[in-house]
Amino acid sequence: MILQEPLDKEQEDWLRKKRLLQPEEQILAYGKAGEGNMNVVIRVKTNVKSFILKQSRPYVNKYPQVPAPKERILTEKAFYQAIAHDQILAMYSPTMIQFYAESMVMVLDDLGNTADFNQIYKEPPSFSFVDAGSLISYLIRLHGIEARDFPDNSAMKTLNHEHIFVYPYLEDNGFDLDQVQPGLQEIAVFFKKNQKLKYEILALGERYLSKGNHLLHGDFYPGSWMKVSNGIKVIDTEFAFVGDREFDLGVMLAHLKLAKIPQKMIDITQNLYSEANAIDTKLLRKYMGVEILRRLIGLAQLPLHLSLGEKQSLCEEASAMIL
């Protein structure tokens, strides 16, 4: 069964066959739930309830030309199972209602009309001490979960490795950054030609691919954080793996910097984490640096409100973090 809009008879028959709908239950609305990058995500609203359908395909939903392992949703399932016994982490996460392996479809509870944190990239950025504390509490708790038997998620790590550590630094990767912002391609060339920088990034990439000691979210950026009426929910865990906890924290801090959150708030956020867990500050800065660079000169662009000069300064700062 293939999820798609609009609703057709095949999809409705499938929903009824799986008893996700009662015999007399009527579908009132069926449509896209948010801007999913990796997967197809559909909200189903009936006269009784609403729920979310999520399906992985053998490509990235936002970029169909980019292949991706369709089994990634199995990792998301394993993640929710791994944290299910932890009441605090469960509070931060949507509830998995059902999973259908033959269709690679996950059924989740509907978080309602929520918004992700992508608004922090706007000016002025909106990110509070309460937000920082809540997200760091989630990370601390997550990184303490026993993850010995968690799937290695090697296919998704390989995909992410390509787009973090390799693709942005290919001199001719076919992606014209001037289409993002005129003049950005010329800035990027300087970093694409920096052999010392590329060597350090490749070395860090090898570390990323190796197995670490802590269960990670794997894509802990504002698009995965959802504002709900009673706090924050964290979604989209298909990149989860066991690795360096500095990776999750580094990605988070990198996005605060990209959003022009004041450095004082970034320092407070880092300190909140380091008060609970010892971190390798040098490794943290390297992960921050590669995330900043790949978001500025790689394929995974963001709705940033940055001038060309600001982007150049951030690239230079990120390079210094890595070197």
DSSP 3-state of 239: coil
Domain membership of residue 4 (yes or no) is no
For residues 270-275, give the mean pLDDT.
97
For residues 163-189, give the mean pLDDT.
96
Integer Cα distance of 235 and 226 in angstroms: 7
Read off φ and ψ for residue 172, nearest 5 degrees: -130, 75
Domain membership of residue 1 (yes or no) is no
How many CB atoms within 10 Å of residue 186?
A: 12
The closest alpha carbon to 224, from 124, 142, 323, 317, belongs to: 142
User: Which residue type is seen at 261?
Assistant: I
Residues 67 and 186 in one domain: no
| pLDDT score at 246 | 98
The pTM of the full predicted model, rounded to 2 decimals, is 0.95
Residues 135 and 33 in one domain: no
Integer Cα distance of 94 and 15 in angstroms: 20
Integer Cα distance of 57 and 40 in angstroms: 8
Integer Cα distance of 154 and 23 in angstroms: 42
Which among 109, 135, 167 is the end of a domain? Answer: 109
Whether 234 has a pLDDT exceeding 90, the answer reads yes
Which among 91, 109, 127 is the end of a domain? Answer: 109
253: confidence class by pLDDT, cuts 50, 70, 90: very high
% the chain with pLDDT above 70: 100
| pLDDT score at 124 | 77
229: confidence class by pLDDT, cuts 50, 70, 90: confident
Domain membership of residue 2 (yes or no) is no
Whether 309 has a pLDDT exceeding 80, the answer reads yes
Span 189-208, pLDDT tens digits: 999 999 999 999 999 999 99
Radius of gyration, CA atoms only, the chain: 20
| CATH number where 56 lies | 3.30.200.20
Residues 54 and 164 in one domain: no
| pLDDT score at 193 | 97
Whether 1 has a pLDDT exceeding 90, the answer reads no
Domain membership of residue 3 (yes or no) is no
Which among 64, 91, 109 is the end of a domain? Answer: 109
Residues 44 and 141 in one domain: no
Domain membership of residue 310 (yes or no) is yes
Residues 161 and 291 in one domain: yes
E runs forming strands in 131-230: 214-216, 225-228
Whether 35 has a pLDDT exceeding 80, the answer reads no
Domain membership of residue 199 (yes or no) is yes
Residues 142 and 281 in one domain: yes
Residues 133 and 86 in one domain: no
Domain membership of residue 246 (yes or no) is yes
| CATH number where 230 lies | 3.90.1200.10
Residues 176 and 213 in one domain: yes
179: confidence class by pLDDT, cuts 50, 70, 90: very high
Residues 190 and 79 in one domain: no
User: Domain range for residue 93?
Assistant: 9-109
Task: Domain count for the chain, please give it.
Answer: 2
Contact 269, 107 (CB under 8 A): no
Residues 119 and 43 in one domain: no
Integer Cα distance of 268 and 200 in angstroms: 28
